[in-house]
């Protein structure tokens, strides 16, 4: 039973004989446009001039070098997390705890930077990045182990570990890692300069993390299209029965998917700590790990799509901040747009498999 199946509608929804390639490309831009239209409508309802609000939301934040740098800076953790999640979801493994893996990556990488940053000198950033990746992997290893060994849903386990990871970080910065000279603020000492990622542009905060994310996008493209492991993971995701008949190990796929996405999210966490934040504090991410779920779907689980989608999502974050400052709109408007975007996307995907057809009579 599809809507418009009966009743006086002049349109019918019917299944296409094969999925539409054009719609496959168009669904994400369509969803973004629908979200934009909704956004303008919301601005109108809130009594703001939609054109002015659009300018404040999308144009002003990126009309300076600093602004462009911020766009790329915020896109970095989104891109890193979403690239990993895309690999994961293509393998039909539902890691929704990237936020937790990001947090633990921030703890492990940031911890190395705090305690060995000065001693490591110019080696500090690479060692910290590696520690961040390992931290994220370790956190993702828990759902991987419990799913592959005890058949426990990775959805629940990875999500519960988000809360546990955040509480762990909170404990560390309130307790043992708190800066004694920090006037009782729950934060660590600032990282030494040599432990910070080098900036890319003068007059902007975007750092080498963005380049790492782009390189990983290329690697993930290669992994998905040119390696046997990437192929096996996709088969395992699309047709689990066929995969197991062909001798593809489900257990290995689960581990690979969670290690890749956990490592990428951990990298995102340490990039935040060694980048814009520069220290450990109780909250290291405004929900990048959850927004990355939307980014992964918006990018149609494809590396190139993820790169573009993370830029759009980053623009949403920036626009939200700008609208908050200039139009006194609530910051939560970004969260509203993010959620609406994913809904529009799921609805737009319908037209990959179905199309609207005009009919003359109202009943068949």
The interface region with another protein, picked from 49-57, 227-235, 330-338, 356-364 by CB under 8 A, is 330-338
Residue 194 lies near another protein (rule: CB under 8 A): no
CA 115 distance to own-chain centroid: 29
Rounded to the nearest 10 degrees, what angle do helices 208-226 and 228-238 cross at?
Answer: 70
Q: Write out the two tokens for 200.
A: 């890319």
Cβ-contact 280, 86 below 8 angstroms: no
Interface residues for another protein in 41-100 (CB under 8 A)?
Answer: 94, 96
Number of residues forming the site for another protein (CB under 8 A): 47
| CA 235/CA 215 separation, integer angstroms | 25
**Helix segments in the chain, DSSP class H:** 21-45, 50-54, 65-90, 98-120, 124-150, 154-174, 208-226, 228-238, 240-245, 250-272, 288-298, 303-327, 333-353
Return contacts of 147-156, CB within 8 angstroms, 24+ apart: 147/93, 147/254, 147/258, 148/250, 148/251, 148/254, 148/255, 153/94, 154/93, 154/94, 154/95, 154/254, 154/258, 155/94, 155/96
Residue 36 lies near another protein (rule: CB under 8 A): no
Determine how many CB atoms are found less than 10 A away from the CB of residue 346.
Answer: 12
Residue 337 lies near another protein (rule: CB under 8 A): yes
The interface region with another protein, picked from 144-152, 206-214, 272-280, 355-363 by CB under 8 A, is 144-152
From residue 340 to residue 359, the character string flagging contacts with another protein as x (rule: CB under 8 A) and all else as - is x-xx--xx-xx--x------
Would you call 357 helix, strand, or coil by DSSP?
strand
Q: How far is the CB of 250 from another protein (least distance, A)?
A: 13
The interface region with another protein, picked from 133-141, 198-206, 233-241, 339-347 by CB under 8 A, is 339-347
Closest CA to 142 of 104, 107, 92, 183: 104
Answer for which of 18, 151, 358, 360 binds another protein (CB under 8 A) is 151
Residue 37 lies near another protein (rule: CB under 8 A): no
159/212 with CB nearer another protein: 159
Q: How far is the CB of 232 from another protein (least distance, A)?
A: 22
70/349 with CB nearer another protein: 349
Alpha carbon distances (Å) from 182 to 173, 179, 189: 11, 5, 7
Q: How far is the CB of 164 from another protein (least distance, A)?
A: 5
Residue 167 lies near another protein (rule: CB under 8 A): yes
Q: What does the DSSP 8-state code read for residue 192? A: P
Interface residues for another protein in 8-27 (CB under 8 A)?
Answer: 15
Interface residues for another protein in 273-302 (CB under 8 A)?
Answer: 290, 293-294, 297
Q: Which residues bind another protein (CB under 8 A)?
A: 1-3, 15, 94, 96, 142, 146, 150-153, 155-157, 159-161, 163-164, 167-168, 170-171, 174-175, 290, 293-294, 297, 330, 332-340, 342-343, 346-347, 349-350, 353
């Amino acid at each position: 039973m599809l809507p418009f199946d009966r009743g006086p509608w002049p349109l019918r929804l019917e299944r296409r004989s094969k999925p539409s390639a054009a719609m496959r490309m168009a669904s994400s831009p369509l969803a973004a446009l629908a979200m934009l239209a909704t956004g303008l409508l919301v601005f109108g309802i809130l009594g703001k001039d939609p054109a002015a609000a659009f300018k404040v939301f999308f144009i002003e934040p990126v009309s300076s070098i600093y602004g462009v740098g911020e766009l790329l800076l915020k896109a970095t953790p989104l891109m890193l997390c979403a690239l990993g999640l895309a690999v994961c979801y293509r393998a039909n493994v539902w890691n929704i705890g990237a936020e937790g893996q990001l947090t633990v990556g921030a703890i492990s990488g940031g911890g190395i930077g705090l305690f060995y940053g000065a001693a490591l000198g110019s080696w500090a950033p690479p060692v910290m990045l590696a520690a961040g990746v390992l931290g994220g992997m370790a956190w993702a290893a828990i759902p991987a182990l419990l799913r592959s060994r005890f058949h426990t849903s990775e959805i629940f386990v990875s999500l519960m570990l988000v809360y546990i990871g955040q509480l762990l970080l909170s404990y560390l910065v309130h307790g043992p890692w708190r800066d004694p000279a920090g006037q009782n603020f729950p934060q660590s000492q600032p990282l030494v300069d040599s432990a910070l990622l080098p900036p890319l542009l003068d007059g902007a905060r975007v750092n080498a993390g963005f380049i790492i994310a782009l390189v990983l996008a290329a690697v993930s493209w290669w992994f998905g299209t040119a390696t046997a492991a990437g192929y096996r993971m996709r088969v395992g995701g699309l047709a689990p029965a066929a995969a197991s008949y062909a001798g593809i190990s489900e257990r290995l796929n689960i581990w690979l998917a969670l290690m890749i996405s956990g490592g990428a999210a951990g990298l995102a966490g340490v990039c935040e700590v060694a980048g814009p934040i520069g220290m450990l504090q109780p909250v290291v991410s405004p929900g990048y790990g959850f927004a990355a779920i939307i980014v992964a779907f918006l990018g149609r689980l494809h590396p190139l799509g993820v790169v573009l989608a993370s830029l759009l999502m980053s623009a949403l974050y920036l626009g939200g901040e700008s609208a908050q400052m200039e139009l006194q709109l609530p910051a939560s408007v970004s969260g509203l747009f993010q959620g609406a975007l994913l809904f529009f996307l799921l609805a737009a995907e319908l037209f990959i498999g179905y199309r609207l057809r005009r009919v003359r009579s109202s009943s068949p």
